[in-house]
Amino acid sequence: MKNILLNEEEKRFMDEHGLGLDDFYDARGERKAEYHLNAKEKGCYYVINNYCQNGHRFKTRGGGHCIVCNPWAMAFQKRYSKDGAIYVASNGQYCKVGVVDNNSFSPEETLAHRENSLNGEGGYGGVTGWEIVAWFLVDSDLGRREKKIHDALSQYSTQREYYHDGDYRFAKEILECSTDEVMKTVDSLFGNVSWNYGI
């Protein structure tokens, strides 16, 4: 990385989040399309680029989100590129495509936990009866693949308001279509994937 002088706020942010200059790609003077590929090639999740409206220049390599203003973007950026499982859930009326990160548990254990959470507190989207009916493993680009699936199925997308953790939220990943339609779309996007059924 070229010589970069960090201000005190930047140094403090790096210390608080366990980051070093090696975690960043120097994207000064580059457009998003350029630095996304260059940072990925270098194995960097984050870039140093132009200042945001609040005077910060630490961004995610993918969406260019300021990680100082929005620290949650760091977790999202890592999930976007990592490995894990993509699942299709159904409650008989709606479908949902979601992801779980690879972790110390088996995919089946992680998916079983996710299925339970989908049915907790009145259920995701205010409906219960969710079952994970099919899933497959990916070795990279977990979040990117999920987004690609949602984009391809956008004509079936609907939103439902529901109550969770003491607050009203919108479920944005609910699809009004069959699981067969979802799986056919996934196969058309990524080739015939290695589906697992049930958990």
10-residue stretch averages of pLDDT, the chain, 199 residues long: 81 86 90 85 86 92 85 69 89 94 80 92 90 94 86 92 71 91 96 91
Within-domain flag for 188? yes
Strand segments, DSSP code E, in 23-156 are 24-26, 46-48, 58-60, 84-90, 95-101, 131-138
| Domain coverage including residue 89 | 84-197
Specify the pLDDT at position 162.
77
Specify the pLDDT at position 76.
65
pTM score of the predicted model: 0.64
Q: Is 151 in the same domain as 56?
A: no
Residue 100: helix, strand or coil by DSSP? Answer: strand
Strand arrangement, sheet containing 58-60: 24-26, 46-48, 58-60
- Sequence-distant (≥ 6) Cβ neighbours of residue 164 within 8 angstroms: 121, 122
Q: Is 97 in the same domain as 160?
A: yes
Query: Which of 106, 107, 36, 111 minimizes the C-alpha distance to 77?
Result: 36
- Number of domains observed in the structure of the chain: 2
Q: Is 169 in the same domain as 96?
A: yes
Last residue of some domain: 80, 98, 128?
A: 80
Specify the pLDDT at position 74.
74
Q: How far is CA 138 from the centre of its chain?
A: 13
Q: Is 101 in the same domain as 71?
A: no
Number of C-beta neighbours around residue 172 at 10 A:
11
* Tokens found for residue 97: 């495509």
Last residue of some domain: 44, 65, 80?
A: 80
Specify the pLDDT at position 104.
60
